[in-house]
Amino acid sequence: MHREIYDRLEEILSGAPPDSAAKHLQQCEECREKVAAMAGQAALLRVLKAPADVEPRPGFYARVLERIEAEGPVSIWNLFAESPFGRRIAVASLALALLLGIYLVSIERTAEPMVAGGPAEQVCAAPACDAVATNASAVASPVSVVPGEDAPGAVLTRVDQDQPDQNQPDDDMLVNLVTYREQ
């Protein structure tokens, strides 16, 4: 669109083009097409014009007051409850908070022994334990693997010796060759 039309566009569209703009439009097809398209669109927008005599029914103010009383002050939370976008934001925020919580808990569990015990001591008596301990140190795991304190190898312990289980009179149970203890 040329400058003389661009400058006077609103006057042209309101039906009072200055002479210079009118002359230009006669000569320039490009501007004429563009102005015609914009004029058509402006006319289209006027379908939203209401007839002049529309009025609300009598007693409108009273009904507005009733509405105000019924609604009460608008809360900021209504933004999340009412609009679909707000609801999406709320759900996304909850999901993010949940993920963040899970992540923090898992990080804390992993980091706990390092903070509490410093470098993990590894005492391993059983040969099988060596491999486990080596693997553990290779991945710099803060959990150390120690054998049962009473004896290496299979450890037979008595669980609840004071209260023997009736269904299982011999409540000795074989636990693993090693016991894991977090330091």
Binding site for other proteins (CB under 8 A): 1-3, 6-10, 14, 18, 30-31, 34, 37-38, 40-57, 60-61, 63-64, 67-68, 71, 73-74, 84
Q: How far is the CB of 54 from other proteins (least distance, A)?
A: 5
Q: Count the neighbouring beta carbons within 10 Å of the beta carbon of residue 65.
A: 10
Toward other proteins, which CB reaches closer, 83 or 183?
A: 83
* C-beta separation of 149 from 175 below 8 A: no
Q: Count the neighbouring beta carbons within 10 Å of the beta carbon of residue 28.
A: 16
Q: How far is the CB of 82 from other proteins (least distance, A)?
A: 9
Q: How far is the CB of 59 from other proteins (least distance, A)?
A: 11
The pair of structure tokens assigned to 45 is 């927008």
Toward other proteins, which CB reaches closer, 20 or 135?
A: 20
Toward other proteins, which CB reaches closer, 49 or 109?
A: 49
* C-beta separation of 155 from 177 below 8 A: yes
Return the sign of the alpha-carbon dihedral for residues 130, 131, 136, 138.
positive
Q: How far is the CB of 9 from other proteins (least distance, A)?
A: 6
Beta pairing partners, 156: 174
